[in-house]
Chains A and B, each alone.
Chain A
Amino acid sequence: MMTNPVRKITQGQFSFLPELTDAEIALQIQYGLDRGYAWSIEYTDDPHPRNTFWEMFGMPMFDLKDAAGVLAEVNSCRQTFPQHYIRLVAFDATRGIESIGMSFIVNRPAKEPGFGLIRQELHGRTMRYTVHSYASGRPEGERGGN
């Protein structure tokens, strides 16, 4: 964490920038919609970098034309999970891509405890390293914030 200059978790797009305002988020959403992406909202309380499968909030949003609909859903997710990580994910259905086109975090807990490095000593002088997220040390519902 000390080597991270922005002192927050950096995953997805824009994560080294200051937090996006709602207007900026709306512009990004509109950019995705104009390219035909389908947006969906995901949340988690375990921000480990290898935790790629976050919980989905509601259904993926197909056939939308305007960012207001997605933004309303983001705000309702923020209301439900104020102390969770929430990210917006855009699915690009183009044949041959069929994958995530954009992804960025739109909500973070008030306090981000970050990660610790765990060293495991093995035979000889072999070392094994793993990353442990401090947040996931606490039980569900007490991670993040307070």
Chain B
Amino acid sequence: MGTPLYSIPGPGAPTPESPAGAGQAAASGAAAARVPGAGEAHTVGEVLAQSQAAQVLDELDRELVGLAPIKARIRDIAALLVIDKLRANLGIQAQAPSLHMSFTGNPGTGKTTVALRMAQILHRLGYVRRGHLVAVTRDDLVGQYIGHTAPKTREVLKRAMGGVLFIDEAYYLYRPENERDYGQEAIEILLQVMENQRDDLVVILAGYKDRMETFFRSNPGLSSRIAHHLDFPDYAPADLLSIADKLLTQQNYRFAPGARATFAEYLAHRIRQPHFANARSVRNALDRARLRQASRLFAEVERRFTAEDLTTIESADIRASRVFQAAAASPQP
């Protein structure tokens, strides 16, 4: 064959023979193109400057309300990856940590949002190569007839390579009441890839806490291959209120004086009602308030509106909610 007349560009090409650190090598190669002297970082600050992970962490702190335990864990993971990079620069070998995670928590506690951020952070730190998020549910993984499941699951896994695979409502994968259910097949393929191609993708399973616990009890192999079990707490009323503030600012609305207090009152009632979905309920409530604001303005045919009129949500817009009527009908003891 002779010596090759060509060479691979970049200092470190990903070698499938030694998958440990392949992603890091590729990413440090990419970083080398952007920042001169990358790969020679010897302080945490240098690594952070090269990866711009600090920005993502700050954004996470700023834009996501509450979730203190989750943020702490993400910081820990980021710290580990930074230190690993410093070790790698000094030639100290270590196996890439397993970063498969499970997110448990009630509806609307920010599981999907955090998963999306996680993909960005891991990409900036060079743990995953592309940093995209593939969000799937049971339907995308499990087939409808014999021999359908394996190709379907493999295709999803291939799409998620180099990024994060987010399996929402993961407990639906396993249906104990039907022993011929194809979900088990999907789980087995998933396990195999989670173990063998740990550097190619990160799997995040999400679902409600109690059902995920049952799911993991019946699939101990899956549970033990997940290093990080993160539990998303419910938001405190004050957190929900500041989420409302952020949502309104994003859409260029604001509360009229007094409307914020009314909304706090609304939340206090809403939390006690069934099917409360944390941030999602807040967003829905605000959407409905916008509808009422629109029809209130719509009624004034002749009036010339100022920008302030169009962006202000009045106390009455919130007060008209059914939640208040229900609360009035059955007063709290």
Contact = CB atoms under 8 A, between A and B. Distances in A.
Interface in A39-59: 58-59
Given A17-B4, A18-B1, A18-B2, A66 B17 contact: no
Interface in B290-307: none
A63 interface: yes
Contacts of A65: 130, 132, 159, 161-163
Contact of B15 (A23, A61, A63): A23
Interface stretch (A67-75, A84-92, A111-119, A124-132): A67-75
Which residue, of B17, B129, B158, B163, has the highest number of chain A Cβ atoms within 10 A? Answer: B158
B242 interface: no
Nearest to B3: A18
B161 to A, nearest CB: 4
A66 B130 contact: yes
Contact of A18 (B4, B17, B155): B4
Contacts of A24: 8, 13
Interface residues of A, number: 22
18 contacts: A17-B5, A23-B13, A23-B14, A24-B8, A24-B13, A27-B9, A58-B151, A64-B158, A66-B163, A67-B14, A68-B129, A68-B161, A68-B201, A69-B157, A69-B159, A70-B158, A72-B158, A72-B161
Given A23-B13, A63-B159, A69-B162, 8 more contacts: A17-B5, A18-B1, A64-B161, A65-B161, A66-B129, A69-B161, A69-B200, A70-B158
